Each structure stands twice: as structure tokens, then as C-alpha cells.
A and B are shown apart, each in its own frame.
Chain A
Amino acid sequence: MAVLVIADHDNESLFDATHKTVTAAKAFGGDIDVLVAGKGSGAVAEAASKIDGVRKVLHAEGDALEKQLAEAMEALIVPLADGYDAIFAPATTMGKNCMPRVAAKLDVMQLSDITGIEGTDTFERPIYAGNAIMTVKSSDAKKVVTVRGTSFDAAGEGGSASVESVDAPAGPFKSAFVEEKIVQSDRPELTSAKRVVSGGRALGSKEEFDRLIVPLADKLGAAVGASRAAVDAGYAPNDYQVGQTGKIVAPELYIAVGISGAIQHLAGMKDSKIIVAINKDEEAPIFQVADYGLVADLFNAVPELTEAL
């Protein structure tokens, strides 16, 4: 048996989500190869070859692969699929964007966002915003899987796989990259951070969000997250959204500030180890999942907490 893992990266560094996907692939079983598709991504291929348990790295370089555009990824991966029993990718925006195309071309039903593996055809995945866990058995010969990062530990270093070049698909493709606005930040990345501080609608403005949430996160060395309401209102960028349809996080410490705890938000953070909620409404549903609840006005409590750390 063999599994092909699709690496997520930005041509400079290999994302942690890839290491977690390798762990899921190990649970599936068989030889594990990693595909690094990019442009100027030699360092990423190198990093992938060091992941423990990897047999071989396939490295494709090409213009359309620079931003891992879905059509080019499909054209690259589908022919490679012949040699594999399963294709795994992290359930990041890269994996979510590309993998269903691969699945459709192979005529298989993708297993999205899996949280557990019970055998080579049986997988666990959350449905209804994580309010139910479904175990499904796939009858497709090949499995196309995206993996929820918070459910698998990152595979360690220590491997020394060979790196083999594969040809990039020729194109032309019907979509072209125009531009990207990526926020550069020294803060830890949200989905892999050990601590997360998230702010909600109650912050009231971007100014207050930045004045209260950011210093608390800085003190804790935490990533910053937000509820949908805070993102919709422009208090925080869209990629800060934690929840069913945003990012899934499971840090050691999650602090929810002025967030009510709608099921869609809980879906993204209720697997955190310790949850702290600060909310002035003692009836707020967030308190039902919080280990420590502080019923208080955040405008007093947050500066006090930042000060106390």
C-alpha cells in the first residue's frame, strides 16, 4: 500500500499541517510519499524529505504551481494517483480547494476533514458543525482524503527521503493568479498556536479589538482569533475567523472575549484543552464549554488580565 500526501507550503516553508497529514497517512498505513508542488520551492522539498516516515518526496516546479492553482494541481496529481491507494491533503484552504477536483476526476467521493481513521476504508468525520461524528465506510477503490489538523499530532523530523523531480503540467489553464494580500505577522499561526485569544462582536470596533485583544495575545505569545461577527464588522481580518466555516483550532489555552458561543463558533474551538470565557452575560452559551468563566465587562477585565500577566 502507498499514500501520496500533498504538501501545503508557501514555497519557502513547509506548513505544519503537512506534518499532521503525514501522521494521518501513517494511521492509514503503507509507504508514504509527499508531493511538493510549487515554484522555487527547493527548501520545502528538502524539509519534506526530513519528515519522519516519508519514503520519497516528489517535487514539481512550475509557474501555475507557484500558487497551487486548483486546475494545475488537478493536472499534476491525477496522473500520479495510479501509483497510490490513497491521496491525503491537509484540510487547509489549499486542500479544500484542490482535492475535490482530484476526487471527481478519479470518480471517487472525497472524505472531507477527517478526524479519525479506523481502517483502510473507514473514517471518522464531524458533520453538522461538529455536533455529530459520522463514521463512514468508503466503497471507492482509491481514497481521497482531507485531514483535520487538530486531530493528529505533527510527524517529527528524522527522515532522510530521496527527492525526485516530476514534470509540472504544461497548461495552459483557464485561471490566472492576479494578486494576494497576505498579512505578515510575527505572531504564531492560528491553527498551530499553543495559545489563542479570540475577540467577538462585543469589542465594538477595530480600535478596541487592537487595543484590548492584541496586547493580551502578545503577553501570552498567543495567536489572535475572532468570531464571525467580529470579522464581518471589520474588527479583524477574515482569516482570523474561528469556527465551522473558518479555522479549526485546538490550542492548550483558548480565551474567548466577548463571544457568545454560537454553535458555529464552538465547532472551531471546543477541542481546546483549556477554555476561558470572558462575557458579561452569565447565560452566554460559551460558559457551557468553558473551564473557567469570568462574568465581567471585558473593557475592565481584559486590561486587568493583561496587566496581571
Chain B
Amino acid sequence: MKVLVPVKRVIDYNVKVRVKSDQTGVDLANVKMSMNPFDEIAVEEAVRLKEKGAAEEIIVVSVGPQQAQETLRTALAMGADRGILVKTDDAVEPLAVAKILKGIVGEESPDLVILGKQAIDDDSNQTGQMLAALLDWPQGTFASEVVLEDGKANVTREIDGGLQTLSLQTPAIVTTDLRLNEPRYASLPNIMKAKKKPIDEKAPGDYGVETAARLSVVKVTEPPEREAGETVEDVSTLVSKLKAEGAL
């Protein structure tokens, strides 16, 4: 079985972003970039499937600038077998990413595509579902458990009221939630080995995909700041303040 894992290079989750003063976007100059945390979970899941003998090959793909190669190397160091960099300096929207991924699926015929549920930069939460629609594949989004058996993927999903389990015919799309697993850190020997693993370079045009944005950015602004509050010295003061505000 082949598993495809799309990984996105995003601002590190620990970085506090700053909006640019000209309101054109956020400042990405000299900030730490990392693999989207949900994609680390996706890579980890694929590697575990391989370790269990359920998967033979893991292909990782990133759509992004030259530096997205580092993100692919990280995934290769975690245990993926080879990478595909679909190189572009444009900001590619989820719909176009899904179309590129559809092209790659056509060439590689994976049985499972595991994506993150959400990229922590655009917070879109849509690429996996879009890919599923474009391929007419079933989807198990927000997965907290994936069990493969008899050509089916049983996916337990984190939904609003609790948990839901679906049985998907493969090939299928899975998107990861936080509780699916805890991603490993790559060991030094594996980081060294990853340097020798192959990364193919492609362009969106190779898949016939136009990356022109459908959503043009009018402006990007700071959210309203909260006024600094006050420190209360004890519980009874807290209670009387809340009463005075009508909150209790």
C-alpha cells in the first residue's frame, strides 16, 4: 500500500505573528518556519502504518517555495521514502493545492492520502475535503484513530458532540486531528539518511493547474486588542467585582 502525505511549510506555531503596517499581510521575514503541526501528525501516522507492515511506501509532497524542501526533508527524516516539491513562489489556495494533489494522485495511485485537518497559517480546513471531492473518494476528517482492515479504513473522528467512527472504502482521504498520535523527533542518523532520499521537483503547470488566487486580499489588520484588566487579591474581591459587573 502506498500513502501520500501533503505537508505545508508554515510559520512555527510558537511565533507570535505581526501584521505588516501597510496591511498587506503578516510579516514573514526572518521568522521561524516549520512543518504544519497537523502534517507532522499525518507523517507520523503514515510512518506507523509502514512500521506495522500496512504500508510499503510513503511519498510526501509540498506545494511552496524552494525552502519547502526543508519541510520535505523533515518528513523524510521522520521516515517518509521520497518527496515531491511542487515549486511556486505564489501563495497557493487550498482549491489549487487540491487540484495539484489530484494530479499527483493520478500519477502515483496511493491507497491513502493523509493530510492535516488545518494549516495553522490560513486556518482554512478545506484542502483534504476538496481533494476527496475532486477524486470522488470517501473522507474521514479530524481523525483521532485510523484502523486499516480488509481494504477498508475505519476512521474515528473528533466531532462536535464526541466521537464518530466511519468505515471508508479505500482509496480514501484522511485528515488528522491532534489526538491521532504524538509525532516523533527525527534522530540524527535518520536526518543524515534523509539527505540522500530523492526529492522530485515539479511545477503547478506540470499538473495543468492555474494558481491565480480566487480570493484577493483587500487588507490584513490586527484584531481588536483587549483592554488590560486588573489583578484581584482574593476570591471574595473577585466575587464582588463580578457581581458589580452583573456577571454573576
Interface positions of A (Cβ within 8 A of B) = 10, 67, 69-71, 74, 92-94, 96-105, 107-113, 122, 125-140, 173-183, 220, 228, 231-232, 237-239, 241, 244-245, 247, 252-253, 263-264, 270, 273-276, 282, 287-296, 301, 304-305, 308-309
Contacts and interface: CB of A to CB of B under 8 A. Distances in A.
Complex A-B, nearest 9 residue pairs according to Cβ-Cβ distance, in ascending order: A100-B126, A100-B129, A104-B130, A175-B138, A109-B214, A174-B138, A101-B133, A104-B133, A291-B229
B33 interface: no
16 contacts: A94-B159, A100-B125, A100-B133, A109-B213, A131-B16, A132-B26, A135-B219, A138-B215, A174-B169, A175-B166, A176-B166, A177-B164, A292-B230, A292-B238, A294-B234, A308-B235
A228 B223 contact: no
Contacts of A295: 231
A289 B130 contact: no
A67 B163 CA distance: 12
A305 B161 contact: no
A109 B94 contact: yes
A137 B218 contact: yes
A160 to B, nearest CB: 29
B29 interface: no
Residue in A102, A220, A291, A301 whose Cβ sees the most chain B Cβ within 10 Å: A291
Given A128-B11, A132-B17, A274-B242, A181 B163 contact: yes
Contacts of A177: 164-167
A108 B230 contact: no
Interface string B146-175: 000000001001111111111111001000
A109 B93 contact: yes
B118 interface: yes
Contacts of A247: 160
A19 B230 CA distance: 36
Contacts of B142: 93, 96-97
Contacts of B231: 282, 287, 292-295
A174 B172 contact: yes
B142 to A, nearest CB: 7
Given A138-B214, A276-B238, A112 B123 contact: yes
B197 interface: no
A238 B163 contact: yes
B132 A183 contact: no
A245 B178 contact: yes
A111 B242 contact: no
Contact of A100 (B38, B94, B154, B219): B94
B129 A228 contact: no
A272 to B, nearest CB: 10
Interface in B193-248: 213-223, 226-232, 234-236, 238-239, 241-242, 245, 247-248
Most buried by A among B11, B160, B219: B160
Contacts of B128: 100
B73 interface: no
How many chain B residues sit at the interface, stated as a range, is: 35 or more
Contacts of A290: 229
B129 A136 contact: no
A276 B230 CA distance: 10
A176 B167 contact: yes
A287 B227 CA distance: 11
Greatest chain B CB density within 10 A among A69, A183, A238 is at A238
Given A128-B121, A301-B235, A292 B241 contact: yes
Given A103-B95, A110-B95, A241-B178, 10 more contacts: A70-B139, A96-B141, A100-B127, A100-B128, A110-B124, A178-B166, A181-B164, A245-B38, A282-B231, A304-B235
A268 B218 CA distance: 25
Given A128-B11, A132-B223, A175-B140, A244 B239 contact: no
Given A110-B126, A245-B117, A294 B232 contact: yes
A92 B133 contact: no
B17 A128 contact: yes
Nearest to B168: A175
Contact of B124 (A92, A112, A140, A244): A112
Contacts of B221: 132-133, 135
A174 B216 contact: no
